[in-house]
Structure 1
Amino acid sequence: MHRTIHFIAGLPRSGSTLLAALLRQNPLLHASMSSPLAVLCERILPVMGSGEYATLFDDERRRGILSGLIDSYHDAGDAALVRQPQVVFDTNRAWCAHMRVLADVRPDAFVIACVRDPVWIIDSFERLFRTNTYLVSKLHGIPNSGTVFDRVEQLMAVTGAFGAAWQALQDAYYGEFAHRLILVDYDELVAEPLRVLAVLYDLLELAPFTHDPEALDDMADAGFDAALNTPGLHRVRRRVQQIHRRTVLPPQIVKRLADTMFWRGTGAGAAQNPGGAFIIAPDEVE
């Protein structure tokens, strides 16, 4: 079945798990925490596009294999998806780095990129680290877990949890397929979840549904987080709420990350940036 599928990506600690928890309240939608589908596609692409086997593939065959992989992964993963047509949201931060492939394999799909002030992204990572006092998160590693400065450098490296997603987001935002990108700002999502969902439903042309931000299902996989030595990484609270607090980051790091939200200030409502990306951001949604 060639069902409707969209992709959730963006920055870490920016509400992708929260957004999925809200979307999955609708029985006609399927959304969950991070899946390995993007990684599977990344592993297959080099085999089909370079080396000794490349001559065995043309673009039509490559497209068919990737399209089949996307469909079969979700068919096998949830029997309910086989019984009736669904709109599926597949989550992985790597999707922003593959806009060209998705435009060819799923030309009607959108990539929903969750974004947040980098200061509070790094702050959230640091709070997780400090909460799990006796564990060394695999997001940092032992050589990089000595001080908050060590941990921030690791997170912001080009291969780090934040750095890799940051570069992929900008690649998608300023690229030629930015018109298939929808940005959901974390601050707006927690402040006005129903309004953000209404805009998102309109952009995706979904039938209206009444969501309840006061009754969320925590879909976190404790085993997944434990494997990263980072319990709570995908935990979702029972209700959507804004939490105001002081940052635990030193002023030097806050200053370094200040004014880096390139997606802000691009107009009201679902405005478009120079590359064409739709924006849902604080004080811009009317």
Structure 2
Amino acid sequence: MNRMFSRHAATQREKMRPVHFISGLPRSGSTLLAALLRQNPRFHAHMSSPIAGMVDVMMGEMSDRNEFAAFITDAQRQRVLHGLFASYYGAEFPADVIFDTSRRWCSKLPVLGALFPDFKVIACVRNVSWIIDSLERAIQRNALRPSFMNNFQTGGTIYNRVEGIAFGEGLVGYSYNALKEAFYGDHAHHLMLLQYETLVGNPAMAMAAVYDFIDEVPFQHDFDNVHFDADEFDERTGMPGLHAVGKKVVAPERKTVLPPDIFRRFENDAFWRNASSNIRAVRVV
């Protein structure tokens, strides 16, 4: 019976559809990328899912902090985590290829490598000053709705808010550090960086690069009719319109809402633009 179960589990893993990942920095085009990928009827993509957090919890429960961890082998850990994906992306998601989105994935490339040997991570990146600007603009746009970005606090200044999102565990700081970990790590060959400026400035070239990276047949996307709806989620976080995407893919032109000293603080943080620092030859589009 055990051998039959093992063969069945192995067969199920072999039948698992390709799973790729969208990660990177916030406010850098991941929602737009998901909205475009969804135009392909073979693909499923959405905004951030709960899977990354569930993986964290399961790994913690299977660690040595659990007194029964002595009865859990690495092979069992692998099956449990792999089964988490298979169960979550069940019959409700009939697509041939799954894209799961989370800023955490850049910090978990070794884990993903143990589960999906052929996985790819598309990390969306953007000039950090403009990321900070976009977040602050969203906060100011919803001035009457305290949000998760500053822990629903109502006091403080723009300087307090920027410090809160830029430190190591903050919204920007964590994802920036995770991106560098992936960019310089041993699993960097699974990684592609997609610049926001490329995605909105030349979406056809950007999507062609994505399809080439994941080794899928190109698809004719409609960049003038993009649809995405996350209104309910945005309302619950106190940030209506946070994940709204324009119907047409265009490069926005605007002045920053940041004080000059804050904007200058981050304007040289785009390490991926320095070819000499790309020691792993990561594809940057």
TM-score by length of 1: 0.91
How large is the Cα RMSD of the aligned pairs?
1.5
* 1:47 has 2:61 as partner: yes
2:110 aligns with one of 97, 100, 116: 100
Asked if 2 retains the 8 angstrom alpha-carbon contact of 1:41 and 1:66, the reply is yes
* 1:189 has 2:189 as partner: no
CA distance in 2, matches of 1:236, 1:218: 7
Secondary structure of the corresponding residue to residue 263 of structure 1: helix
2:87 maps to 72
- The unaligned stretches of length 5 or more in structure 1 are 281-286
Secondary structure of the corresponding residue to residue 49 of structure 2: coil
CA distance in 2, matches of 1:217, 1:184: 20
The Cα offsets for residues 237-283 of structure 1, whole Å up to 9 and x where unpaired, read as: 1110011111010011011112110001428xxxx921242211xxx
2:279 maps to 274
Q: Which amino acid aligns with 2:208?
A: A
Distance 1:238 1:72, change over 3 A: same
- The unaligned stretches of length 5 or more in structure 2 are 1-14
Runs of 4+ in 1 over 6 A off after TM superposition: none
Q: Which amino acid aligns with 2:180?
A: Q
* 1:118 has 2:117 as partner: no
1:25 aligns with one of 33, 39, 42: 39
1:15 aligns with one of 21, 29, 32: 29
The Cα offsets for residues 166-225 of structure 1, whole Å up to 9 and x where unpaired, read as: 111111111110110110000000000011111111111101210011010123x22211
Identity %: 42
Larger gyration radius, structure 1 or structure 2: 2
Structure with bigger helix share is 2
The Cα offsets for residues 9-62 of structure 1, whole Å up to 9 and x where unpaired, read as: 000000000000001100011111110000000000011122212212111111
CA distance in 2, matches of 1:249, 1:126: 8
* 1:252 has 2:257 as partner: no
- Structure 1 residue 137, shift from structure 2 partner: 1.2
CA distance in 2, matches of 1:107, 1:157: 32
- Structure 1 residue 102, shift from structure 2 partner: 0.3
CA distance in 1, matches of 2:275, 2:102: 26
Asked if 2 retains the 8 angstrom alpha-carbon contact of 1:181 and 1:277, the reply is yes
Distance 1:204 1:99, change over 3 A: same
**Larger displacement relative to structure 2 (35-44 or 150-159):** 150-159
- Structure 1 residue 144, shift from structure 2 partner: 7.0
Matches within 5 A, 1:167-206: 167-206=177-216
TM-score by length of 2: 0.91
- Structure 1 residue 145, shift from structure 2 partner: 4.6
2:51 maps to 37
Secondary structure of the corresponding residue to residue 23 of structure 2: strand
Asked if 2 retains the 8 angstrom alpha-carbon contact of 1:8 and 1:90, the reply is yes
Distance 1:177 1:276, change over 3 A: farther
Asked if 1 retains the 8 angstrom alpha-carbon contact of 2:23 and 2:106, the reply is yes
- Structure 1 residue 94, shift from structure 2 partner: 0.5
Distance 1:173 1:65, change over 3 A: same
Secondary structure of the corresponding residue to residue 182 of structure 1: strand
Matches within 5 A, 1:133-152: 133-143=143-153, 145-152=155-162
